[in-house]
A and B are shown apart, each in its own frame.
Chain A
Amino acid sequence: MNQEHPVSQEELMAYRDGQLQRDQARQIDAHVESCPECEKAVADVKLVSLQMADWQVEDAPEGMTRLVQAALESRARRPESNSAFDWWTKRRAPAYVFSGAIFLLVAVAGISLLFRYRERRAYDTAKSAGLSAEVYSAPFIRTAPPPPGGPPPPPELSSREQLGQGTLGSLQVDKAFSNSPSGPMIIRTVHLALVTNSFEAARTRIESIVQESKGYIDQLSIRSEPKSPRALSAVLRIPDGKLASSLNELRKLGQPKEESQNSADVTGQYVDLVARLSNARNTEQRLLTLLRDRTGNLKDVVAAEGEIARVRESIERMEAERKNFDNKVQYATIQVELSEEYHAQLQETIPNTRTRMFNAAIEGYESASDTILGIALTILAEGPAVLVWLAFLGGIGVLAWRLYVLLRLRQRSRGIDPV
């Protein structure tokens, strides 16, 4: 293209092929009429086309209809079924998405139910084995039942409650506890493990031994499981003076398996505690005297009362500690582990087949109803969230499907993917 020939060779070719816009074609037409070179270029294109046209192929054979006819007949045979087929074709993708979501929901519900069922079984097993709900806190139980007979509140709490009722009026000095111990303070602990062949008699005897020695049972638990020996675990508190005789009686209950004794001298700790307690009481008395005899402004009075409350609290804490020492020294601790000598026995009454089948059917029914109930509960609990996800993912799926169909149509129209 130049000033003499304002039309490029390619444009001349397109002009010859009739592939230009009308205005552009008109301009080139005018130029070609006056330009022999461009006219020749157009003629060359035409000549090539004419020469190429020499390669002719035969017409399609007359019999080229076999497959086409078969396809047409096949299409004609299913005109009625097209509606259902089309319906399915159009809704296939959402149906797949929906089915997948339902499957996912059921799978999640089933797995969740299975886990819950296993947790509950484990919890029930642990419960029947004697573990408290505190020891085994199953994660699925949102409202775990409180353990029967919870531990008593700590002594500090009761002391603080008393403190809250008023400090000045409750001041009483227990002079009996302010004395130093006359002899060594020894805390005795005995661990005794026995095997007995008469479990019930041994248990009764333990209670009578404790009663005779004027002690008490601090803790007692019995474990009994099928096809395993029974076991008793008890913590006995026996007056220190009767420890030896009580131990002798306990040893007679069965074959000793293990025995250990431990003594801890707490005389020093006790003396130190008593001294600190005495000092605290003296401080408290001085503060009370000061508060009673001296006059001052309100700020000083409030400060003095706050100090009295603090000292009183420490006094009560030390008193509780001292009482604990006294109790441990006065009452020796005996931990008894009593196990039954186990004799395996044949099952006396073997249920007949009918009973067993009936029992199995009942268990199966209960299991099925539990499963259905679990699925229903899970669907109710998780269903709304799953529906939200389904709507979200389904929307994306439908959009993706439509985009895919559109792309396929475009590709098909280009001949890239005709099938």
Chain B
Amino acid sequence: MYSDEQLMLEFKRGSQKAFEELFSRYRNPIYGYFRRRLNHSARAEELAQETFVIIIRGAERYEVTARFRTYIFGIALKQLWSERRRELRESRTAEESTEQGPNPDPTKGLWIRDVLSRLDADHREVLMLREYEQLSYEDIAELLAIPLNTVRSRLFRARSEVRTLLDEQSVKEVSR
């Protein structure tokens, strides 16, 4: 089984199958990355596609200087920032038109989303990258350009806060 980096180098040399393999590996993680951070599934789909388009167009310049996983999520992160800047410019805040996508268990999902929304933005980002994108501490540090110790401390605080908030939620549920 080829690694992501090997596949990307193969694609750089012209192998379309290598890209198809990469696409199959990352289409759901990248879509999920955008889907959890945006309120519009259509926009998440577009941005996920644009991320892969950037990968295709930049394949000629690709060099193995970091893990491919970090590379692709770096592009996705940049896309997300651009999207949020665009939303700010167009004053189209998430509260104005929130679309809930299909969810296997909407109740639980909403519960977690509510807890996450109450976290500090920096802490939340580190926690989500770790829990949902399954990035290592080093990848997160490189992606966000912050020290490794900062990643650990932010992640620890974020988890502690989530634990506290979830406990509070549980107490409320029981008291009802």
Contacts and interface: CB of A to CB of B under 8 A. Distances in A.
A72 B56 contact: yes
A60 B166 contact: no
A71 B145 contact: no
A154 interface: no
Interface stretch (A315-323, A343-351, A408-416): A408-416
A193 interface: no
Interface stretch (A8-16, A27-35, A204-212, A354-362): A8-16
Interface residues of A, number: 45
B101 A57 contact: yes
A82 to B, nearest CB: 7
Contacts of B14: 79
Interface string B14-44: 1010010001000110111001100001000
A54 interface: yes
B112 interface: yes
Contact of A414 (B59, B60, B142): B142
B143 A60 contact: no
A64 B66 CA distance: 27
B31 A60 contact: yes
A57 B103 contact: yes
A66 interface: yes
Nearest to A9: B156
Interface residues of B, number: 66
B121 interface: no
Contact of B74 (A60, A82, A413): A413
Contacts, number: 145
A75 B12 CA distance: 11
A64 B27 contact: yes
Given A19-B136, A55-B36, A409-B65, A48 B109 contact: no
B63 to A, nearest CB: 5
B65 A60 contact: no
B22 to A, nearest CB: 11
Given A10-B152, A48-B163, A68-B56, A414 B79 contact: no
Nearest to B134: A17
B76 A60 contact: no
B86 to A, nearest CB: 15
A66 B156 contact: no
Among A19, A89, A410, A412, which residue has the most Cβ atoms of chain B within 10 A?
A: A412
Interface string A63-78: 0111110011001100
A59 B44 CA distance: 12
A238 B52 CA distance: 105
A64 B163 contact: no
B48 interface: yes
Contacts of B95: none
14 contacts: A17-B137, A51-B162, A54-B105, A54-B109, A56-B103, A56-B105, A56-B109, A57-B35, A60-B48, A68-B23, A68-B52, A82-B60, A413-B65, A419-B54
Given A44-B163, A57-B103, A419-B58, 15 more contacts: A10-B153, A44-B159, A56-B103, A56-B104, A68-B49, A71-B53, A82-B60, A409-B61, A412-B74, A413-B70, A415-B71, A415-B73, A415-B77, A418-B51, A418-B79
- Ranked nearest first, the 8 interchain pairs of A and B with the lowest CB-CB distance are A415-B74, A418-B75, A413-B66, A60-B31, A54-B108, A67-B49, A55-B112, A57-B35
Interface of B: 14, 16, 19, 23, 27-28, 30-32, 35-36, 41, 45-46, 48-54, 56-61, 63, 65-66, 70-71, 73-79, 101-105, 108-109, 111-113, 127, 130-132, 136-137, 142-143, 145, 152-153, 155-156, 159, 162-163, 166
Interface of A: 9-10, 13-14, 17, 19, 44-45, 47-49, 51-61, 64-68, 71-72, 75-76, 79, 82, 86, 89, 409-410, 412-419
